[in-house]
Amino acid sequence: MDDLQKLQDIILPEVQACGFDLVRVKWIGSGEDRILQIMAERPDTRQLNIDDCGKLSRLISDKFDELDPIEETYRLEVSSPGIDRPLTRLSDFSDWAGHDVRLVPIDAIDGHRQFRGAIVGVDNDIISVDDRKFGVCDIPFNMVKSAKLLLTDRLIASTAPMSASGVDDVETETAVDDGAEYEQED
């Protein structure tokens, strides 16, 4: 069994058991360099930390050892989707409305093979993107081959860090260099 949907059916309960949402399951590379990439996130932060990734990786590895669903050699990669994340679910487009996206349709839509611009919103299963060149374009969700948020100042500003603990605990000391005082972080 190597079908992505079948693998996703095995992976999803493990992800949900951790209290996470599954973002994507994807094969990357080929031959002995194949990687099974699993992206997941905490619903409250839309991120995973390193401990979350380790926990989920162990659960999935144990399940795969039990079921042996993949015959070929592969590596397992569990990660957070990151700030310039892929948009894989219809709800992602609603959640990130107003942010810039690069969207590639399965087939050209009105002669366009790629769209870049702000997500206007979602109506039923139609995603509206205000493309920089073509204006507002409507793309059916089932026609999306890939979509990824574009890294912008607005995206950075709207994405809270996972943990800000310790940020205000920076200690400074006054140092003297050639008679001039300045503060130095430890």
> What pLDDT score does 185 carry?
47
Cα distances (Å, whole numbers) of residue 47 to 58, 94, 132: 18, 18, 29
- The identity of residue 44, as a single letter, is D
> Has residue 150 got a pLDDT over 70?
yes
Q: What's the burial of 169, exposed, middle or buried (CB within 10 Å: 0-12/13-18/19+)?
A: exposed
Q: Are 150 and 84 in contact (CB under 8 A)?
A: yes
pLDDT more than 70, % of the chain: 84
Structure token pair of residue 76: 């397992």
The structure tokens 């940020």 sit at: 167
Q: Are 147 and 129 in contact (CB under 8 A)?
A: no
Q: Which CATH architecture has domain 90-158?
A: Roll (2.30)
Q: Is the dihedral of CA 140, 86, 99, 106 positive or negative?
A: negative
> Has residue 24 got a pLDDT over 80?
yes
The structure tokens 């810039």 sit at: 100
- The partner residues of 176 in beta bridges, in order of sequence, read 181
Q: At what angle do helices 4-17 and 50-67 cross, to 10 degrees?
A: 130
Q: Are 70 and 7 in contact (CB under 8 A)?
A: yes
> What pLDDT score does 160 carry?
62
pLDDT in tens, 84-108: 999 999 999 999 999 999 999 999 9
For residue 149, which phi and psi values (nearest 5 degrees)?
Answer: -65, 145
Domain edges within the chain: 4-79, 90-158
**CB atoms inside a 10 Å sphere around CB 35:** 14
> What pLDDT score does 159 carry?
79
Question: What confidence tier does 163 reach under pLDDT thresholds 50, 70, 90?
Answer: low
Question: What confidence tier does 176 reach under pLDDT thresholds 50, 70, 90?
Answer: very low
CATH 3.30.300.70 at 4-79, yes or no:
yes
The structure tokens 């969700």 sit at: 141
